[in-house]
Structure 1
Amino acid sequence: MNLPFAHGGPVAQAQLKACPQDFQVVECMHVTPEGEGEHLWLEIEKTSWNTEDVAMWLAKSARVHRLSVGYSGLKDKHAVTRQWFSLHLPGKADPNFDWPEGVRLVQAVRHRRKLNRGTHRANRFVIRATEFQGDTVALESRLAAVAAQGIPNYFGEQRFGRGAGNLVRGREWLTGGEAPRKKALRSIWLSAVRSDLFNQVLAERVRRGVWNRVLEGDILQPEGSRGLFSADDDAESAARVIRAEVHPTAPMPGVAGMASSGPCWQLEQQILAPSQAVIDGLCREGVDEIRRATRLPVQDLQWSWLQEREGEHCLELAFKLPAGAFATTLMAELVTTPESSA
């Protein structure tokens, strides 16, 4: 699905992830380990490793079950990323790890609880776009617009698997096709399907210019909160959305939850109606509908120009995004890449 841009589309070309060091991510935790307890929390810097592969290595090295290893979120493989893991070690001393290439321990601290998914609230990124070709003035103007207005909160293509395979197989399964053979695939396929449906609704809001504006009947979400409320219940909702205090939302379908109404509901139904059989399948699987903000604020956005070899420019960006947001959606508003062109 070709997703519409909010700011007019890319204004330059560049290469992303030419090497892992071009894409750096640091997890921002809001929990501080207490220094004692049955769980050993490990802050680890990994290069060219999947999060799950690190978790499996930790379990094997510490001689514990994989379920005794926790982490908050998945991080890119083709990158340098820093994130936390936990090991449940009741009555056991800290293991002596022989760290493999590409994995480095930053710190180890005991805590009383396991690290669960979704514990961290944000990620800090440093991204370098190399082999930059384009108008630097236009690019900086686009960056200023992004900093001021945010971007559509699309799910990135990595959510859908290679060649969107998880999305395709998930839709086939939910409409009567073959079910996933592994339990882990079930959640991956369900997530891909729901994320795609959300993207479809958000894309229509972008086309209509209301991804960052209130529609009558909207369900809104305060910035930095997971709570929801009806726009119709707040006379100041339109002004609050403009000030980015609250954000419009769109559904990730499933068993009916807090529903929009009026023009907002009509827009959502218009887009989702062709996928009703898929949504019925989600309901049969017992997936609850949730809502996700349509606008993604880009916090602390800074940029600089680095000189590459032979006089080429390199754009370096530093910014912070809430957990669950995709840095690739930001880059798509700025530059095209060889991969996206293909």
Structure 2
Amino acid sequence: MIELPLPNELFEQLPRLNQQPLIDAHLRTVADDFQVNEILSFEPEGVGDHLFLYIEKQNCNSDWVISYLQRHFKLKPADVGYAGKKDRYSISRQWFSLYFPEKRSNEVSAIVETIDNDSFKVLTVTRHVKKLRVGAISENQFCITLRGLTEKLDEQIFGSLIANGFPNYYGYQRFGHQGNNLSKALQVLAGKIKVKSRSRRGIYLSALRSYLFNIQVAYRINHQLWSTALDGDCFSLSGSRSYFHCDKVDQPTIERLAQGDVSISGWLVGQQASEVTGAALTLEQSALTDFQPVIALIQSSPLGQRLQSARRPIRAFARDFKVLASNQQQLTLQFGLPSGSYATSLLRELFRIKDLALLENRND
């Protein structure tokens, strides 16, 4: 059986861009310390057969809410949509869609009013003509309080982080408690265990791809090539899932990279071969040399054959970054991140974080 270092341990070892001394800080001392608001990339039209619920949840993950809504409204799994998943140990506000035809509108209020639990509440109800799809997010807006700082952070240090971006690592939350999602992925692909839930299988396989992506980002940073384009690289467009291949890097592409209009991308391993060529392919293969058995397992397994290769930018930019409150031992930050980027990956550039949700064995 293939074995990999625990992702939580690996995450601590991933290289940082910031060379300044890190400050110790506690994250998620209380639920209010980690808040996130999901902003859709479109405005629901107010009419249509899909009921949109804007929900505030606490101490539960997005999958639990989806399961609850499915049972409560007596829907099929395919009838429930969402744009993204949010941390369990946080106060998160996000959208869900339910296939609930307009002809049944008179039932909605009564059904919504019967929702009775301590984990979430419905803030807004509206309608739209289409189901909510994964990734339909303009940004996630965070308000995070860090406590127990060992010293006050010089706010000028934020400048470089905001201007140049930060490594777009997948956060440790992706991998589950003690790397459980990762180990389960290897067992599923090898046929050692069977997981009936399609959603759960997807979580496991996504964790494995995320792990391999982090390896690529770390390799480029360690080789001083995080922001240096190579011939054959693929570039992600800012604010979009689109990307393009550049056989020969030209001056306009270099300028767009410097301006943040595009970013170098890494490979999300799937059935298709990576699209990079030339020097970029040589670098990518070097980064993943030790993980070829894992890639071969993904591409040969019947379940892995359903995974489509994709690209992800190796850097991300924080938007509207603000320091709301600061003193010697506490700091509150507000910022927006593009869909799929992790606040913990930004924070680790400045802090040596002790996530109390993780330390109390609560992370999933």
Q: Same fold (TM over 0.5)?
A: yes
The 1-side partners of 2:197 and 2:70 are apart by 20
What does 1:132-171 align with in structure 2 at a 5 Å threshold? Answer: 132-137=149-154, 140-171=155-186
CA 1:4–1:18 in structure 2 vs 1: closer, same or farther (change >3 Å)? same
Q: Is the 8 A contact 2:230 2:249 kept in 1?
A: no
- State the 1:73 CA deviation: 0.9
**Percent of aligned pairs sharing the same letter:** 32
Task: Give SS of 1:92's match.
Answer: helix
- State the 1:97 CA deviation: 2.1
> In the alignment, does 2:288 pair up with 1:280?
no
The 2-side partners of 1:223 and 1:143 are apart by 21
Partner residue in 2 for 1:261: 277
The 2-side partners of 1:172 and 1:274 are apart by 19
> In the alignment, does 2:54 pair up with 1:43?
yes
Partner residue in 2 for 1:331: 347
> In the alignment, does 2:262 pair up with 1:251?
no
- State the 1:181 CA deviation: 4.6
- State the 1:144 CA deviation: 1.6
Deviations 1:21-42 (A, max 9, x none): 1111001112212122221111
The 1-side partners of 2:194 and 2:74 are apart by 33
Partner residue in 1 for 2:117: 100
The 2-side partners of 1:176 and 1:329 are apart by 33
Per mean C-alpha deviation after superposition, the further-off stretch among 209-218 and 187-196 is: 209-218
- State the 1:326 CA deviation: 0.6
- TM-score, normalization: structure 2? 0.86
Letter of the structure 2 residue corresponding to residue 92 of structure 1: R
- State the 1:174 CA deviation: 3.3
Unaligned runs of 5+ in 1: none
Letter of the structure 2 residue corresponding to residue 293 of structure 1: P
Partner residue in 2 for 1:200: 215
Partner residue in 1 for 2:98: 87
CA 1:176–1:270 in structure 2 vs 1: closer, same or farther (change >3 Å)? farther
Partner residue in 2 for 1:301: 321
Unaligned runs of 5+ in 2: 1-9, 360-364
CA 1:227–1:257 in structure 2 vs 1: closer, same or farther (change >3 Å)? farther
Q: Is the 8 A contact 2:25 2:148 kept in 1?
A: yes
Q: Is the 8 A contact 1:174 1:281 kept in 2?
A: yes
- State the 1:179 CA deviation: 4.4
Q: Is the 8 A contact 1:10 1:336 kept in 2?
A: no
Q: Is the 8 A contact 2:80 2:96 kept in 1?
A: yes
Letter of the structure 2 residue corresponding to residue 329 of structure 1: S
Deviations 1:88-145 (A, max 9, x none): 11231312423422422221112222212222231010101012222422xx233222
Task: Give SS of 1:337's match.
Answer: strand
Q: Is the 8 A contact 2:25 2:353 kept in 1?
A: yes
- How many residue pairs align between the two structures? 336
Deviations 1:66-96 (A, max 9, x none): 4322211111111111111112112313124
The 1-side partners of 2:15 and 2:281 are apart by 21
The 1-side partners of 2:325 and 2:150 are apart by 12
The 2-side partners of 1:320 and 1:159 are apart by 19
Q: Is the 8 A contact 1:17 1:23 kept in 2?
A: yes
> In the alignment, does 2:26 pair up with 1:6?
no
The 1-side partners of 2:134 and 2:354 are apart by 33
Q: Is the 8 A contact 1:46 1:104 kept in 2?
A: yes
Task: Give SS of 2:113's match.
Answer: coil
Q: Is the 8 A contact 2:182 2:204 kept in 1?
A: yes
Task: Give SS of 2:186's match.
Answer: helix
Partner residue in 1 for 2:39: 28
The 2-side partners of 1:176 and 1:86 are apart by 34
